[in-house]
Amino acid sequence: MARRSKSILDEDFTENIVDIDVSREMEDSFLEYAYSVIYSRALPDARDGLKPVQRRILYMMTQMGLRPDKGHVKSARVTGEVMGKLHPHGDGAIYDAMVRLAQPFAMRVPLVDGHGNFGSLDDGPAAARYTEARLTPAALAMTASLDEDVVDFVPNYDNQLQQPDVLPAAFPNLLVNGTTGIAVGMATNMAPHNLGEVIAAARHLIDHPDATLEALMAWVPGPDLPGGGTIVGLSGIRDAYAKGRGSFKTRAKVSLEQISARKKGLVVTELPYMVGPEKVIEKIKDAVTAKKLTGISDVVDLTDRKNGMRLVIELKNGFNPNAVLAQLYKYTPMEDSFGINNVALVEGQPRTMGLRELLQVYVDHRIDVVRRRTAFRLKKKQDRLHLVEGLLVAILDIDEVIQIIRSSEQTAAARDRLMTIYDLTDVQANHILELRLRQLTKYSQIELEAERDELKQAIEELEAILASESKLRATVSEELAAMAEQFATERRTTLLTKEDGKPLKGTAMPSAAEAKPTKGAGSSLPLEISNDPCFAVLSASGQIARTADRTPLAGGGARVKHDGLRSLIPATARGEVGAVTSAGRLIRLQAVDLPVLERTAGFPQLTQGVPVKDFVSLNKGEAVVALVPMTEVFALGTAGGVVKRVSPEYPLNRDEFEAVTLKDGDEVIGAAPARDEDALVFVTRGAQLLRFAASTVRPQGRLGRGIAGIKLAADDAAIFFGVAHDDDPEAVVVTIATGSDVLPGTEAGTAKVTPFADYPAKGRATAGVRAHRFLKGEDRLSLAFAGHGPARASSAAGVARALPTEHGRRDGSGVPLAQRVDLLAGSLSEATPSSSDETPAVGEAATGTSGTQRPPLAAPEQDSIPFDDAGVLRSED
């Protein structure tokens, strides 16, 4: 049986039960807890902008000597020191606070230099045992002069150590780095600002104590977030600066880029404050799944340490980038709202303050710090001067002083005799007794006299600062200016007074009447690109693009590189065009995939195009020779003299197919739209030209082999095929001759320009007529062109080259060229010589990107794109 335990109560114990009102006890306890959270945990002090745990971290790291010029130490060591000596809470809370002080995306001016994984916008930091830390130079400025009695010290949690009640704070940390915290019944949320701007406003307030809010906002127009971005609308910011509460919208910084030959994308380089790319990607995917977002095909995060933030949002073809961006702003964190709530502790009490009040509290604190520091330094220098004056008295009569000391039996007696004989104080006498013999030299006397003079001058300056409020405030202002010079950086966040509605660079903002209405809510902009008429353009140098509309292309002005045209095809923005290759393939292209050309002085800049090889897959030795419409009959010619008119009957389920079946060794040399009333033209290497009616060639299906076009000699081959117009008075024929023994590219050769009307029409499958008489050393044509003039000539790099300005005889010889001409092409502007030409250029072209020298085609003349007699596109009316 278990023994009954003996009662521990005394025999005379009297039970006393006290009745307590539970509601009052809960109220009192909760108020005590709430005050503890507000004052000791959640809210920052308005003077240094730090919460208690942050202040203790910086102070303890200063005491540990973790300066920027020292090595990093384990973060666990720092958290352990702070927890054991100053902050009796969990190490997790301490480490989290230290991590935030080290994160450049959270702090505008980081105060901890972290080494290792301190987290990102999407991921947390590594454990404290894996990371290392030390103070930054800015943190040293926050803790500077702590040993000069500039702030009050209070006991730690167990009354064994002392800690600063506030840090000296050489710059306005609360405004510069902002803060966030949730207390009991209140919260704070303050945005970071630019250090240079805040210091400029503080200095203005020092110089003008009655400065208005408008005057201060001239220096601090708005927050400057660590990650940059754009702030839209400043009215909420002014409310926050005036009353302490307000809000503003932040947006990502986005640009439109050509991410591939066929695709455009929105590239995000800056996101709103504390928004990470993974969060944006997740929201985009959710919105696309819910069909709130349309026009997006992929999202790729290319962010890295070298290039920084880079989030690529790939767009589907045919969608307006500005409308898609508006949807992204609505449905994803790429647009976010920041609510300002400027709550901080002032003399231990939470207060909601505007910009002026926050600056005033800091300025008052800094004035008090400088005053206390000046008084401390003055006392130190006065004490030192007192000792130096006593030493000088002793050194002047050093022998007698030594005798007095040696003859005294005790130290107290020697001290009393020195004080009596030389009228010294107790401090001076004790200091003399502690002197070393090596300090009693003549040199020491000189040093002491120089030190005395310096001390007197320094004391005068310090006394002047303490005696004059204006000098004290000027000293504070000068020190703030030094902080700005050392730590200020350029503003990162762009401020917009309101949404400007500007389109992304490289796009136009279409009106609602011109484009397809938006599918679903989320944007007032047209979502899909309208099916506007345009031109598809292929330059002779192999650049492909389209124009924004079908406005006539005006001429004039200096020539630009690559503006020689191989093909100019009417199309629509959401239509199709075909690319004909030298291997006889026809490749279907979507016009909306082509980059849009901008105009300069009315002429499109073909240098903005994309190499056609980026759009189509070409085999070795294959090149794109022309663009053709997919809904019209076009004619093509081969080097073997075969001609074919292709009927637009193509399979709908294939993007590429054969336009002609070629014989072995043959290749397509040109293609263009051809109506029955047009003339087809062949020019051979042997200088034979044949023009015949297109109506003599019956359109065939895509598998047809074509029919005989020109009769060739045994060793001859066609080098040009094109379409001309019998009623075109400006049509010309350009031929350039060279010799077989001449290395390609080493001889300019001779060139001849002849009116196309001089060449008579002949029957199909005949040899044609002579087009060029060879001179000595010439036996073949290297280049030829027939079509609407004036034609253009250029080098392989696309630079304009001169051609003869006078028309020659049909069967005559050419004139020597001053410079080598690589290719010919039709022109869209008047003949304008390049800066290197001495004579006006009659034509211009460029070389294909495939590296093969192949004569390009003239820009086709059609009812929808007629030319005027100056060689410039004219309007249909």
Structure tokens at 233: 């609308």
What is the per-residue pLDDT for 625? 92
What is the per-residue pLDDT for 288? 92
Whether 839 is covered by a domain: the verdict is: no
Whether 2 is covered by a domain: the verdict is: no
Beta carbons within 10 angstroms of residue 502's beta carbon: 9
What is the per-residue pLDDT for 841? 30
CATH code of the domain in which 455 resides: 1.10.268.10
Q: Inform me whether the pLDDT recorded for 373 exceeds 90.
A: yes
Whether 297 is covered by a domain: the verdict is: no
Distances (CA, A) of 165 to 217, 348, 727: 31, 11, 96
Q: Inform me whether the pLDDT recorded for 822 exceeds 60.
A: yes
User: Which of 179, 155, 165 is closest to 59 using CA atoms?
Assistant: 165
CATH code of the domain in which 88 resides: 3.90.199.10
Q: Inform me whether the pLDDT recorded for 824 exceeds 70.
A: no
Task: Give the model's confidence band at 516: pLDDT under 50 very low, under 70 low, under 90 confident, else very high.
Answer: very low
What is the per-residue pLDDT for 119? 93
598/729 same-domain check: yes
Q: Inform me whether the pLDDT recorded for 830 exceeds 50.
A: no
User: Is 10 in a helix, a strand, or coil?
Assistant: coil
Q: Report the range of poorest mean pLDDT among 98-102, 747-751, 759-763.
A: 747-751
Phi, psi angles (nearest 5°) of residue 226 = -60, -35
User: Which of 522, 499, 504, 523 is closest to 512 using CA atoms?
Assistant: 523
User: Is 529 in a helix, a strand, or coil?
Assistant: coil
From CA 84, how far away is CA 62, in angstroms rounded?
Answer: 16
Q: Inform me whether the pLDDT recorded for 636 exceeds 70.
A: yes
The residue from 825, 840, 865 where one domain ends is 825
478/593 same-domain check: no
Higher pLDDT, 818 or 660: 660
Q: Inform me whether the pLDDT recorded for 851 exceeds 60.
A: no
Percent of the chain with pLDDT over 90: 49
Higher pLDDT, 584 or 862: 584
* Residues identified as active-site: 130
- The top-scoring range by mean pLDDT among 186-195, 255-264, 812-821 is 186-195
* Amino acid, single-letter form, for residue 869: D
Number of domains within the chain: 3
Higher pLDDT, 853 or 152: 152
The residue from 129, 144, 168 where one domain ends is 168
648/758 same-domain check: yes
The residue from 129, 153, 168 where one domain ends is 168
468/552 same-domain check: no
Q: Inform me whether the pLDDT recorded for 524 exceeds 60.
A: no
What is the per-residue pLDDT for 553? 59
Task: Give the model's confidence band at 667: pLDDT under 50 very low, under 70 low, under 90 confident, else very high.
Answer: very high
447/564 same-domain check: no
Over the stretch 286-306, which tens digit does the pLDDT of each residue have?
999 998 888 899 999 998 888
Torsion of CA 90, 91, 93, 98, to 10 degrees: 160
pTM over 0.75: no
Instruction: Share the mean pLDDT of the chain.
Output: 83
Whether 256 is covered by a domain: the verdict is: no
466/547 same-domain check: no
With residue 734 as reference, give the H or E element that holds it: strand 731-738
User: Which of 158, 35, 31 is closest to 87 using CA atoms?
Assistant: 158
- The top-scoring range by mean pLDDT among 380-394, 610-624, 848-862 is 380-394
361/476 same-domain check: yes
Over the stretch 75-130, which tens digit does the pLDDT of each residue have?
999 999 999 999 988 899 999 999 999 999 999 999 999 999 999 999 999 999 99
What is the per-residue pLDDT for 819? 65
Percent of the chain with pLDDT over 70: 82
Phi, psi angles (nearest 5°) of residue 827 = -120, 150
From CA 662, how far away is CA 692, in angstroms rounded?
Answer: 22
What is the per-residue pLDDT for 777? 81
What is the per-residue pLDDT for 865? 28
CATH code of the domain in which 724 resides: 2.120.10.90
- Mean predicted confidence (pLDDT) in 393-406: 85
What DSSP line would sit under 39-98, residue for residue? IIIIS-BTTT---HHHHHHHHHHHHTT--TTS--EEHHHHHHHHHHHT--S-HHHHHHHH
479/595 same-domain check: no
| Whether the bond into 790 is cis, omega within 30 of 0 | yes
Which residues does residue 708 pair with via DSSP β-bridges, in sequence order?
Answer: 642
- Mean predicted confidence (pLDDT) in 47-70: 95
Over the stretch 352-371, which tens digit does the pLDDT of each residue have?
999 999 999 999 999 999 99
What is the per-residue pLDDT for 40? 65
- Mean predicted confidence (pLDDT) in 737-750: 72
Beta carbons within 10 angstroms of residue 830's beta carbon: 14
What is the per-residue pLDDT for 835? 31
From CA 499, how far away is CA 326, in angstroms rounded?
Answer: 11
Whether 419 is covered by a domain: the verdict is: yes
Over the stretch 449-459, which tens digit does the pLDDT of each residue have?
899 999 999 99
- Mean predicted confidence (pLDDT) in 752-756: 88
Whether 731 is covered by a domain: the verdict is: yes
Which residues does residue 155 pair with via DSSP β-bridges, in sequence order?
Answer: 162
Task: Give the model's confidence band at 243: pLDDT under 50 very low, under 70 low, under 90 confident, else very high.
Answer: very high
Whether 682 is covered by a domain: the verdict is: yes
Q: Which residue has the tokens 């010079």?
A: 485
What is the per-residue pLDDT for 776? 84
538/462 same-domain check: no
CA angle 867, 871, 874 (to 5 degrees): 35
478/392 same-domain check: yes
433/547 same-domain check: no
Structure tokens at 849: 């990107």
What is the per-residue pLDDT for 162? 95
Distances (CA, A) of 759 to 683, 710, 767, 814: 12, 15, 13, 16
Whether 599 is covered by a domain: the verdict is: yes
What DSSP line would sit under 110-145, residue for residue? -SEEEES----SSSPPPPTTT-EEEE-HHHHHHHTT
Q: Which domain holds residue 420?
A: 357-487
783/686 same-domain check: yes
Distance of CA 522 to the CA centre of its chain: 26
